[in-house]
Amino acid sequence: MTAKIKIGIIGCSNIAKISTIPAILKSENSELGHIGSRSEEKAKEFANMFGCKNYGSYDDVLKNESIDAVYISTPIGNHEKWALKAAQAGKHILCEKSSTTSYSSAKKIVTECKNNNVRIMEGFMFRFHPAHTKIKEIINKETIGKLFSFSSRYGFPPIEKNNIRFVKSLGGGILNDAGCYSINASRMLFNSEPKEVLCDLVMNKKLDVDTKATILMKFDNDRFSQSTVGYDMFYQSVYSLWGNKGYLSLSRAYNVPTDLNVTLNIQTENFNEKMLIKKVDQFKLMINSFSNEILKPNSSWFDFEKDLLNQAKVLEASRISNNEKRFVKIEEIKK
């Protein structure tokens, strides 16, 4: 292992093209080593675009002995297959969210990674943005007092119905695609796991895919998380926190472009403050953190595998809740 880890790409997706590969190229502790696609033509196109001499199939990436880690950005329904193959090939894994489509699948992936002594991180890039670090400082200082609720909205304008987001077999649907963000954010900011989940999904009956969702989670100490997500909506990417002494809101919470400043609004009885969080590349920060953990184990501020499993458990409870129309206790999801 050198001072930089060499990353191979499994899946020439839009997010890989627009955000992740450029972040790897800018990273201080990683470099682009191989690009893999289902189509050799697509792999070659990406290789030329990003100046990468190695390209080919997904299996070609895994066979390349110089590759230390892979970034998986295939459709969610294919994550398990390629995460297992990557682990068996001895590659560390940065996997696009959601990591997979069920808790049992997540356990299978993490077990295989542990058996092959490789690490896996779920790619929630937003949590590396300094805005959330600042908010956690505010929470710890009790500036807004004892927390009561987290509230979030995340949704998108109309998307073509031939998009993979609407293909059930590929893990499509708003819960896996966007609901996962607010679940992850509330877990991170409350620094705790929910006790119970209530989830209601609005379904496109023709496609059998969820297109809107409302998610309510009960945490300890009388804390609640409520979030709404949806397709075919006015764009939203925000959250707020309400405490007994104040309230804060973030102008852009999840998908934050590299050229966008973020505004943190804080209100209490004694003051109102608008705090500017200057623009950053949150994908680069994620790549740096992932790579640093590979180079220097136990340096990360969170446990990659434990976080992935806990996230998958809440998503599983959400699916059960929608199907059975009731609050589901997280303890019902078997270890």
User: Based on the domain organization, do 64 and 199 belong to the same domain?
Assistant: no
Same domain, 150 and 216: yes
Residue 106 and residue 309 in contact, taking contact as beta carbons nearer than 8 Å: yes
The enclosing H or E element of 265 equals strand 262-268
Domain assignment present for residue 56? The answer is yes
Q: Which residues of the chain have pLDDT under 50?
A: 1
Same structural domain, 90 and 135: no
Detail the DSSP E strand segments found in 111-223: 120-123, 147-155, 196-204, 209-218
Instruction: Count the Cβ atoms, other than its own, within 10 Å of residue 261.
Output: 13
- Domain extent at residue 20: 5-123
Q: Are 81 and 100 a contacting pair, CB within 8 Å?
A: no
Enter the tokens of residue 15.
């997010």
Q: d(Cα 228, Cα 179) in Å, to the nearest integer?
A: 8
293 domain residue, yes or no: no
The first and second tokens of residue 133, run together, are: 């670090």
* Any domain includes 81: yes
Same domain? For 275 and 183 the reply is yes
Question: Which CATH number belongs to the domain containing residue 48 in this structure?
Answer: 3.40.50.720
Domain membership flag for residue 304:
no
Residues 75 and 133 in one domain: no
Task: Give yes or no: residues 157 and 117 share one domain.
Answer: no
Write out the two tokens for 173.
């649907």
Q: What's the CATH code of the domain at 136? A: 3.30.360.10
> Can you say whether the dihedral through the CA atoms of 15, 281, 84, 79 is positive or negative?
negative
Contacts of 138 (CB under 8 A, 6+ apart): 144, 248, 266
Q: What are phi and psi of 91, to 5 degrees?
A: -105, 135
Residues 152 and 100 in one domain: no
3-state SS assignment for residue 80: helix
Q: Is residue 306 part of a domain?
A: no
Is residue 300 in a domain? no
Same domain assignment for residues 116 and 143: no
Q: What is the pLDDT of residue 335?
A: 67
* 110 and 218 both lie in a single domain: no
Angle at 6 between CA 300 and CA 13, to 5 degrees: 90
List the 30-36 sheet strands across, edge first: 55-56, 30-36, 5-10, 69-72, 92-96, 120-123
DSSP letters for 32-70: EEEEE-SSHHHHHHHHHHHT-S-EE-HHHHHH-TT--EE
Q: In the structure encoding, which two tokens stand for residue 190, read together?
A: 């409350």
Q: Is the same domain home to 95 and 156?
A: no
Query: Does residue 57 belong to any structural domain of this protein?
Result: yes
Residue pair 24/94 in contact (Cβ under 8 Å)? The answer is no
Q: Would you state the pLDDT for residue 3?
A: 84
The domain boundary, picked from 123, 145, 162, lies at 123
Answer yes or no: do 216 and 72 share one domain: no
16 falls within a domain: yes
Q: Is 53 exposed, middle or buried (0-12, 13-18, 19+ CB in 10 A)?
A: exposed
**CA neighbours closer than 13 Å in the CB half-sphere of residue 183:** 31
Cα–chain center distance at 77:
15
Contact indicator for 118, 90 with CB cutoff of 8 Å: yes
Return the amino acid letter for 270.
Answer: N
Domain count of the chain?
Answer: 2
Answering whether pTM is above 0.95, one says yes
Q: Which amino acid is at 70?
A: V
Residue finishing a domain among 72, 90, 123: 123
Q: Which residues, other chains included, contact 81 with Cβ-Cβ below 8 Å and sequence gap of 6+? A: none
Residues 149, 271 share a domain: yes
Contact 241, 140 (CB under 8 A): no
Q: Which of 88, 123, 158 is the last residue before a domain boundary? A: 123
Write the Ramachandran bin of 155: left for phi over 0, alpha for psi from -120 to 50, otherwise beta.
Answer: beta
Q: How many CB atoms lie within 10 A of CB 254?
A: 22
